[in-house]
């Protein structure tokens, strides 16, 4: 197994027409969850992946397991909870950062919030080359926090490479100071993904990527995401790598961070150098940004490799719009 991901996935409802949640007459159903998003993108990219979680013994739980499994993800370690429901949420389309964006979560007391080290299959969770976690899980309950802490503890043997996406969600941390626990969890990981804005919001770290690395020297690799300004990676040898992001015509700014992590992990699993991993992260993020919904079909490996192999000048003028992931699509638009 290449990668195991652990975390809550929920059934999502997005308005079928533009408008406020209070006004729209109907919704389209989908799925969403940081860790399952990563699992689905990696599976679509040709890797063997397992998603571990808890869902309710209900129709929404069936939908999650069936949909995620249809991407080629192993769901055999997903537990059913007869007493707690599957989480759901409603959201409007568009950028989470704007005032017009609305999200309504119905996840309190969900099946996934009951995950703990006592009721989950730790052997299955640790069965991959990589274990991917996020900062959403520890916010769900004390049991989920303890589980995440156990999985990021630097045990002597039997631990896979631990990947941790900070994924700071202010709404999940009622007291801002509580989010500092994410810094402690990140220090136990081998590979950490964090947005420059997240580091400031969650931990009060300003001063850019170098300041974040100074606060997080423990992980062998740290990837700092800077949105449209690209990403910076610090590797285990102390080398700093920077790759700009291609220009993207954004359709919906949802799921891009998860897709970036999947692209980077895919490159790492293939043994690609760090700059190429960053480019594959950018390409997977661009696939998410140019498609509505939480999940987007990634480009084929050959298509992504061709773009990731562009020289610096060509990469710097790459412009990606809707439909670019299709093989043979015209995705390279040179800008002055």
SS3 318: coil
Cα(178)–Cα(202) distance, integer angstroms? 9
Q: Where are the domains of the chain?
A: 3-10+35-82+109-320
SS3 104: strand
Query: Which residues are known to be catalytic?
Result: 258
> 99-103, 277-281, 291-295, 329-333: which has the highest mean pLDDT?
277-281
Residue found under tokens 């802490």: 149
Q: How many CA atoms lie within 13 A of 49 on its CB side?
A: 27
Q: Return the DSSP state at 246.
A: P
CATH superfamily of this structure's domain 3-10+35-82+109-320: Ribokinase (3.40.1190.20)
CB-based burial of residue 100 (10 Å sphere; 0-12 exposed, 13-18 middle, 19+ buried)?
A: exposed
- What average pLDDT does range 282-308 have in this prediction? 89
Tokens standing for 242? 């920077």
Contact present, 5 and 35 (Cβ < 8 Å): yes
Mean pLDDT score of the chain: 92
Least confident of 35-49, 118-132, 169-183, 213-227: 169-183
Q: Place 176 in a pLDDT band, splitting at 50, 70 and 90.
A: confident
- What average pLDDT does range 277-290 have in this prediction? 96
Least confident of 65-69, 126-130, 140-144, 170-174: 170-174
Q: How far is CA 63 from CA 35, 43, 148, 181, 204, in A?
A: 17, 18, 26, 33, 39
Residue-wise pLDDT for 55-67, tens only, equals 999 999 999 999 9
Q: Backbone phi, then psi, for 189, in 5-degree steps?
A: -85, 165
Q: Return the DSSP state at 300.
A: P
Q: Are strands 3-6 and 130-134 parallel, antiparallel or unpaired?
A: parallel
SS3 69: helix
Q: What's the pLDDT score for residue 35?
A: 98
Cα(233)–Cα(222) distance, integer angstroms? 6
Contact present, 279 and 316 (Cβ < 8 Å): no
Residue-wise pLDDT for 237-254, tens only, equals 999 999 999 999 988 778
Helix (H) or strand (E) holding 222, with range, is strand 221-225
Q: Place 100 in a pLDDT band, splitting at 50, 70 and 90.
A: low
Cα(314)–Cα(335) distance, integer angstroms? 10
Residue 196 has pLDDT above 90, yes or no: yes
Closest CA to 137 of 90, 181, 81: 181
What percentage of the chain reaches a pLDDT higher than 90?
A: 80
- What average pLDDT does range 253-282 have in this prediction? 96
Q: What's the pLDDT score for residue 333?
A: 44
């Amino acid at each position: 197994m290449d990668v195991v991901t652990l975390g809550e996935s929920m059934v999502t409802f997005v308005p079928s027409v533009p408008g406020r949640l209070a006004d729209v007459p109907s919704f389209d159903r989908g799925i969403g969850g940081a860790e399952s998003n990563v699992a689905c993108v990696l599976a679509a990219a040709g890797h063997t992946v397992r998603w571990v979680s808890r869902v309710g013994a209900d129709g929404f739980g069936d939908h999650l397991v069936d949909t995620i499994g249809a991407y080629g993800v192993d769901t055999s370690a997903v537990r059913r909870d007869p007493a707690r429901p599957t989480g759901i949420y409603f959201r409007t389309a568009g950028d989470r950062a704007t005032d017009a964006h609305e999200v309504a979560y119905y996840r309190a007391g969900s099946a996934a919030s009951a995950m703990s080290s006592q009721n989950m299959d730790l052997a299955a969770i640790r069965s991959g080359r990589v274990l991917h976690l996020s900062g959403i899980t520890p916010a769900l309950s004390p049991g989920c926090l303890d589980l995440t802490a156990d999985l990021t503890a630097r045990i002597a043997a039997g631990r896979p490479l631990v990947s941790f996406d900070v994924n700071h969600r202010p709404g999940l941390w009622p007291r801002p100071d509580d989010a500092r626990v994410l810094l402690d969890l990140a220090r136990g990981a081998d590979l950490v993904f964090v947005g420059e804005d997240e580091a400031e919001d969650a931990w009060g770290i300003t001063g850019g990527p170098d300041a974040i690395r100074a606060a997080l020297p423990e992980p062998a690799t740290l990837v700092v995401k800077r949105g449209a300004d690209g990403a910076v990676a610090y590797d285990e040898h102390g080398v700093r790598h920077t790759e700009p992001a291609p220009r993207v015509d954004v359709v919906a700014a949802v799921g891009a961070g998860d897709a970036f992590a999947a692209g980077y992990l895919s490159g790492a699993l293939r043994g690609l150098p760090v700059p190429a991993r960053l480019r594959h992260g950018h390409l997977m993020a661009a696939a998410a940004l140019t498609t509505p919904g939480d999940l987007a079909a990634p480009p084929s490996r050959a298509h992504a490799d061709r773009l990731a192999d562009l020289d610096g000048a060509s990469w710097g003028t790459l412009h990606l719009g809707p439909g670019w992931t299709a093989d043979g699509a015209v995705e390279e638009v040179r800008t002055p």
